[in-house]
Amino acid sequence: MRLHILTIPVRSLLIFCCFLACLNFTSCKDSAETKENSTEVSTNTTSYNSETSTDTISKTILFFGDSLTAGYGLEDPDDAFPDLIQDKIDSLDLDYQIINAGLSGETTAGGKSRLEWVLEPDVAIFILELGANDGLRGVSVAETRENLQWMIHKVKAEVPQAQIVLAGMQLPPNLGTEYTQDFKAIFPKLAEENDIKLIPFLLENVGGIASLNQNDGIHPTPKGHKIVANNVWSVLKPLLNK
């Protein structure tokens, strides 16, 4: 057999090699076209899935607040009460996704400036947790109230379908009886006037209790955040639906 191959005329051998080269080129071309078609099908499938998946996008709950919402001082940010509420939502297989827009040191004036940047058109529930830093800085009650009202109006105008929840806040008595009472009254009055939900006092059963707060006496520990999460959950849960 080997001898027979060696005796093939050179011209025939050249023709045979040309045939193999053409065959190889055609094969590569077909392979490239197949790959291109495969890629196109894959791309179309991805686009289709993307379009059809919009029906299953989770509804958004936006927590807009200060260091209490942000989980200031916690080693694990997942210990902050908004994340703990996400765990409760997931355990009930509810179709909601929480966005934590807490910012340490935020005041109501700062919230006015920042709100437009974080407010999304698909927000289903908006939880407003601001005012504590105003009180600690001695900002006038009238100014704090005005800023909170502005944000409530903004949410109603920009995201009319959103349910709004206002987190009530109280101040330590050392800031003066009149000021602390007027400050406390801001939140229930705003909730009533705007027909929105109210968390009477965000830090109920946590504020002023040393064992549930960090060394600064202001920000809750992980255990304290669990109690805060329950305070919020009692108002939030009735607003959720499958």
Q: Return the C-alpha torsion angle 64, 150, 142, 236, nearest 10.
A: -40
Note the pLDDT of residue 174: 87
Catalytic site residues?
67, 216, 219
Do 216 and 182 touch, CB atoms closer than 8 A? Answer: no
Do 158 and 119 touch, CB atoms closer than 8 A? Answer: yes
Mean pLDDT confidence for 87-98: 96
Query: With bands split at pLDDT 50, 70 and 90, how would you rate the model's confidence at 56?
Result: low
Note the pLDDT of residue 97: 97
Q: With pLDDT > 90 as the criterion, what percentage of the chain qualifies?
A: 74
Q: What's the pLDDT tens digit per position in 23-48?
A: 444 444 444 444 344 333 333 333 33
Q: What's the pLDDT tens digit per position in 183-225?
A: 999 999 999 999 999 999 999 999 999 999 999 999 999 999 9
Residue 206 makes CB contacts below 8 A (sequence gap 6+) with 212, 213, 220, 224, 227, 228
Q: What's the pLDDT tens digit per position in 59-70?
A: 999 999 999 999
Query: With bands split at pLDDT 50, 70 and 90, how would you rate the model's confidence at 241?
Result: confident
Rounded to whole angstroms, the Cα distance separating 95 from 166 reads 22
Note the pLDDT of residue 9: 42
Note the pLDDT of residue 206: 98
What integer best gives the mean pLDDT of the chain? 83
Rounded to whole angstroms, the Cα distance separating 16 from 63 reads 75
Query: With bands split at pLDDT 50, 70 and 90, how would you rate the model's confidence at 156?
Result: very high
Q: What's the pLDDT tens digit per position in 104-155?
A: 999 999 999 999 999 999 999 999 999 999 999 999 999 999 999 999 999 9
pLDDT of 5 > 80? The answer is no
pLDDT of 233 > 70? The answer is yes
Query: With bands split at pLDDT 50, 70 and 90, how would you rate the model's confidence at 58?
Result: confident
